[in-house]
Structure 1
Amino acid sequence: MGATYAQLSITERRKTERWRHARVPVNEMARVLKRYRATIYHDIKRNGYTNESMPEYAGYDGDAAHQMMARRHARERKLIKCRELCKDVIGG
């Protein structure tokens, strides 16, 4: 398994959202939050949203990002807890 790290908190995600709207550079966000800039970039990329028909509405929402992360983690935990479900999903 790969290296583990602490996920961004809801507070950090909300700050990231505000700073993105203010066009603060990711390097500055990372410095203030005392995080690696790759962590910020990863969160924005993974939890951001796009709308191809209305690109002006693409962006990053801190609350939505936190909910997306929580849903992903809940799915992963469910597969760990339920061995039968895991066998059905993975086929092993």
Structure 2
Amino acid sequence: MFRRYSQLNLADRRRLFHFVERKLPIKEMARELGRHQSTIYREIRRNTFRDRELPDYSGYFPTVADDIRKERRQRLRK
């Protein structure tokens, strides 16, 4: 059966943020969002905010993750 690919939207990222805060296992996050585990791993790895000067402010935040995604998308377009 063919599955259509769909990107995570801001609502999905907000739910993911709450799961990350509660430190749920990746498998549980993926099941709740209806996505594959690798999608969740990749989302957290690629869109986590890192601040070298203030490491206490580093982490996964949904609006920042969405902005990072938009910037990456614009950079990669031909």
Establish whether TM, by shorter chain, passes 0.5: yes
- For residue 53 of structure 1, report the CA deviation from its aligned partner: 4.4
Farther off after superposition, 47-56 or 33-42:
47-56
Give distance in 1, aligned partners of 2:38 and 2:53: 29
Structure number with greater CO (CA < 8 Å, separation at least 6) is 2
- Unpaired stretches in structure 1, ≥5 consecutive residues: 80-92
- The number of aligned residues is 75
Q: TM-score, normalised by structure 1?
A: 0.71
Give distance in 1, aligned partners of 2:19 and 2:26: 9
Q: TM-score, normalised by structure 2?
A: 0.82
Contact 2:49 2:58 in 1 (8 A): yes
Contact 2:49 2:64 in 1 (8 A): no
Kindly report the root-mean-square deviation, in angstroms, between the aligned alpha carbons of the 2 structures: 1.7
- For residue 70 of structure 1, report the CA deviation from its aligned partner: 1.0
Question: In percent, how many aligned pairs have the same letter?
Answer: 35
Give distance in 2, aligned partners of 1:76 and 1:55: 28
Contact 2:49 2:65 in 1 (8 A): no
- Unpaired stretches in structure 2, ≥5 consecutive residues: none
Describe the SS at the equivalent of 2:30.
helix
